[in-house]
Structure 1
Amino acid sequence: MTRKVFAAALAAVFLGGLWLPMARQHAIVPDVVLDNGRLRPFADIDKRFEEQFAWRQRLRDAYNQVRWTAFGALVPSVLQGKDGWFFYRSEKAKDGPGIDDAMGQLRVDAATLERWRTILRARAAEMERRGIRYVAAVAPNKQTVYPDLLPDGVPAHRAGPTRLEQALAHLDPGLPIDLTPALRAARTESQIYFKTDTHWSPTGAFVGYRVLAERLAALLPGVGPIERARLKEVRGPYYGDMSAIASVPLIENAAPRLFGTEEFPARCATGAALLTVQASACPPMQIGQLYRTRRDDGRLPKAVVFHDSFMDAMVPFLAQHFREAVFDRGAVNPAVILQEKPDVVIEMRVERYLDHFFIEVPWPAPQS
């Protein structure tokens, strides 16, 4: 009974906080807009809420913090696993398949699989025609590598193969490279994902990098993997991105980081070293902006890399092998490739963004 009373009081405070701005401002009257011949009522409802309910985000954060502190309850998109591990239910946030995919609940039809294969084949062929090497790789979701740390409420037996497994069974071998086996093998020796983050740790990124570097070494001169002995692991406190998603402080007290035992030569645009004996002074990568790294060695190849946020932790390692590398967080963009004239194009996606491999952007028509 006490819990119910507390929950009712909390809800009343939350609703009261929403009502106060409404009492001081005009009521929300959402527009009805015409979109491609269809009437869309309430099309701007989110914008109106943000404008007139300025407290909404603060109230939401406070509500989530009280629920976590009082009841151990999290937002639907964050799942508390075992031993201090948290998992991202990306399907609840409309951010790509997540736990549902890990449980084998999603089917990819034969026509879609064939379309995916055709797109990757055509992309690789177009690169080859232009004298460019093309390497693609997919990084697994955390629950793919650590399924045993999901909570007991998640079914122990999968209903079928994951989307990635279905794709790999149909696509041409190595297109893309599956980083899952290397990461699963490495988890017995190192922590390769953060406990409170959706991403792999720098240690996990290094494992994935090694697989990519070995493939690149077979294609390009001078691209040999960095030896693990040249790096040192340092552990310390870390707030993962699921703290922001859940609006609660999910801290990992001994999260792994990787630094060099020496300063490595690759530099970001500011001139700072990307990989050194301590945290790099390079600025973070930004969505919508190309991120350039350089090495003062004209014998090395040039790369263009299309990616999502999983590439961020790999950049300090991968950049060491190129005189210049251009990182673009987005779909493969032929205009960028034609502008930069790379020796190799690398595309890497996390498993939940598998579909992003198959976004088709046409190459510009040859100028007459």
Structure 2
Amino acid sequence: MKSGNGVAVGHEGWLYWVGRAREVETFYGDTAASRRILGRWARLIARRARRLDKLGIRHVHTVVPDKLAVYPDRLGRPFPGLDDPPGVRLGRLVARDSAAVMVDLLAPLSAARAEEPVYLRTDTHWTYRGYLTAYRALCEALDAPVAEHVFAGSSQLERFTFDLGEKLTPPIDEEYVAYDFPRRAERTEANALVRVRETGQAVRLRGLFVGSRVVLTNPQAPDPRRVVLFGDSYIYSPGARLTAMLAETFAEVHAIWSANIDWAYVEAVRPDVLIFEIADRFLRQVPTDRIRIDAFAEARARRAVRPTLRARIQGWLR
């Protein structure tokens, strides 16, 4: 295997996303640009915290560390900033300038890797153990009980070509542990973008995720609170992801794939808790929080389908 297409090949086949134009490396280093961007994030989080406090909504932000920060030893070459990654630096800024709560995931993930892998070898995402580790950390930060049956799921070995592996020539697949757990929560709502994607009728499915919104309810949940969760692929509901796990703890979870907070939606739902999650590598772009998530999703859904299906979507939206 050779590095290329934005992927670095480390020891024993470990793959890392480093960017096609060294943008990840540039951001990880303590540069003027990264300091400016992280400063903007700290100010945004402070504004969010003040607004949520006024609404009486408990809130936490968390940054998912890149695999680079948790497995620097497998990379096999020098890389700037691995001892002080962007998410950690942002946490210090937030702690200094506001009362917002940042949940640290780097420390628990780094500790958990001693027992078994917490990241997939050929992807940017966690193994099931990584998801369980993050789920526990978020529950602890919110004084919420973990649902013990989430930790008592079933597992089996499967093979799959993940995102980083498919970028190589030839593609590299990986044997991984597929994990599932008993579900007491049910999905009770999904917006137009989710429905279009699930029909399989979109012209192009790849990348058709930003703007997705689902609601899961669980009458048996040990915590009666309502949660709104903004995040990216780490929260997405299928499989053993954070949305599914949190829905086993909380009575109602609204999961929205967006780095922007839809304030009109938050004020309409009036959750007890708001969780914001973002991957370290996506911190390079600071959101504006100017979005209406369902209008955004409907527009994407219309553009995604074949013309003959647009009338059906119009029917969904009525």
TM range (shorter): 0.7 to 0.9
Aligned counterpart, 2:187: 268
Residue 211 of structure 1 pairs with residue 137 of structure 2: yes
Aligned counterpart, 1:179: 105
Report the alpha carbon displacement of residue 111 of structure 1 after superposing the two structures with TM.
Answer: 5.7
Aligned counterpart, 1:146: 71
Aligned counterpart, 1:64: none
* Equivalent runs, 1:150-169 vs 2, <5 Å: 150-151=75-76, 154-155=77-78, 161-169=84-92
Could you tell me the TM-score, scaled by structure 2's length? 0.73
* Equivalent runs, 1:311-322 vs 2, <5 Å: 311-312=235-236, 313-322=241-250
Q: Which runs of 5+ in 1 are unaligned?
A: 1-71, 218-222, 272-280
SS in 2 for 1:92: coil
Tell me if structure 1 keeps the 8 A contact 2:27–2:33.
no
Residue 326 of structure 1 pairs with residue 254 of structure 2: yes
* Equivalent runs, 1:273-288 vs 2, <5 Å: 286-288=209-211
Question: How many pairs were matched up?
Answer: 268
SS in 2 for 1:98: helix
Residue 230 of structure 1 pairs with residue 152 of structure 2: yes
Return the alpha-carbon distance in structure 1 between the equivalents of residues 82 and 225 of structure 2: 45
**Amino acid corresponding to residue 234 of structure 2 in structure 1:** F
Aligned counterpart, 1:351: 280
Aligned counterpart, 1:245: 167
* Equivalent runs, 1:1-368 vs 2, <5 Å: 72-89=1-18, 91-92=19-20, 97-102=23-28, 104=29, 106-108=31-33, 113-151=38-76, 154-155=77-78, 161-172=84-95, 175-217=101-143, 223-227=144-148, 229-246=151-168, 248-253=170-175, 255-260=176-181, 263-269=182-188, 286-297=209-220, 300-312=224-236, 313-330=241-258, 331-355=260-284, 358-361=286-289
Aligned counterpart, 1:26: none
1:295-343 residue CA offsets vs partner (Å, 9 max, x unmatched): 1259711111110112222222111122221111111111221232211
Distance change in 2, residues 1:270/1:108 (3 Å): closer
Distance change in 2, residues 1:195/1:100 (3 Å): farther
Which structure has the bigger radius of gyration? 1
Distance change in 2, residues 1:158/1:309 (3 Å): closer
Could you tell me the TM-score, scaled by structure 1's length? 0.64
SS in 1 for 2:60: strand
Report the alpha carbon displacement of residue 146 of structure 1 after superposing the two structures with TM.
Answer: 0.5
Tell me if structure 2 keeps the 8 A contact 1:203–1:257.
no
Distance change in 2, residues 1:84/1:243 (3 Å): closer
Q: Which runs of 5+ in 2 are unaligned?
A: 191-197, 293-318
Tell me if structure 2 keeps the 8 A contact 1:141–1:351.
yes
Distance change in 2, residues 1:250/1:301 (3 Å): same
SS in 1 for 2:13: coil
Distance change in 2, residues 1:355/1:319 (3 Å): farther
- RMSD of aligned alpha carbons: 3.2
Q: Which gives a bigger RCO, structure 1 or 2 (Cα 8 Å, sep 6+)?
A: 2
SS in 1 for 2:164: helix
Distance change in 2, residues 1:296/1:214 (3 Å): same
Q: State the 4+ residue runs in structure 1 displaced beyond 6 angstroms.
A: none
Distance change in 2, residues 1:106/1:309 (3 Å): farther
SS in 2 for 1:83: helix
SS in 1 for 2:45: helix
1:44-93 residue CA offsets vs partner (Å, 9 max, x unmatched): xxxxxxxxxxxxxxxxxxxxxxxxxxxx435331111111211112x316
